[in-house]
Amino acid sequence: MNRPKIHITKAPLDRILDKAAFALVVLTLCLAAIYYGRLPDTIPVHFNTTGDPDRFGHKTTLLVIPAISLFLFIGLRYLSNFPESFNYPVKITVENAETQYQMGLRILYVLNLTFTGIFAYMTFATIQTALGKWNGLGKGLFWFIIIGIAALIWQTFRQAKAG
């Protein structure tokens, strides 16, 4: 694979998406740190398909979600340095590389924001459920996933059309 390696400057929207994802990672870490001492020793650690808690464990498991969120954020952020290594719906040429790389990076930023949003919501919902304020995940997680998937599909179609 001999794709051109060029530097891509982040578009203003990409900067916003990246900063929003970072803010959600920080929020997730803060939520876990702030509420950890207030949580009972046993909290929900798994939810079924309807969002109801179906497995419980020690409150230290709450720290797994922010850790995964941070790990994914850093990993996807690192991956953004190599847009020439992404899979694209079209053949990459010198003529279309910049446009395709920008669109590929946009997908990465949307994906990162989607993941960090899901993990922030899951952390908040787990805390609220453990404290007896909620009965489970509710509908918020569903909407994070639907909106994230829709944005990724839309961006992929735009990319394929740009050829």
Answer yes or no: is 138 within a domain: yes
Is 1 within a domain? no
Block residue for tokens 């990319």: 159
Digits of tens for pLDDT over the chain (163 positions)? 689 999 999 999 999 999 999 999 999 999 999 999 999 999 999 999 889 999 999 999 999 999 999 999 999 999 999 999 999 989 999 999 999 999 999 999 999 999 999 999 999 999 999 999 999 998 888 888 899 899 989 988 888 888 7
Q: Is residue 154 situated within a structural domain? A: yes
**Is 2 a domain residue?**
no
Q: Is residue 7 part of a domain?
A: no
Name the domain count of the chain: 1
C-beta separation of 45 from 56 below 8 A: yes
Q: Does a structural domain hold residue 105? A: yes
Q: Does residue 3 sit within a domain?
A: no
- Domain assignment of residue 42, given as a range: 12-162
Task: List, in order, residues 6 or more apart from 129 with CB less than 8 Å away.
Answer: 43, 44, 53, 135, 136, 137
Measured CA to CA, the distance from residue 160 to residue 151 in angstroms comes to: 14
Tokens of residue 150, six digits: 């829709």
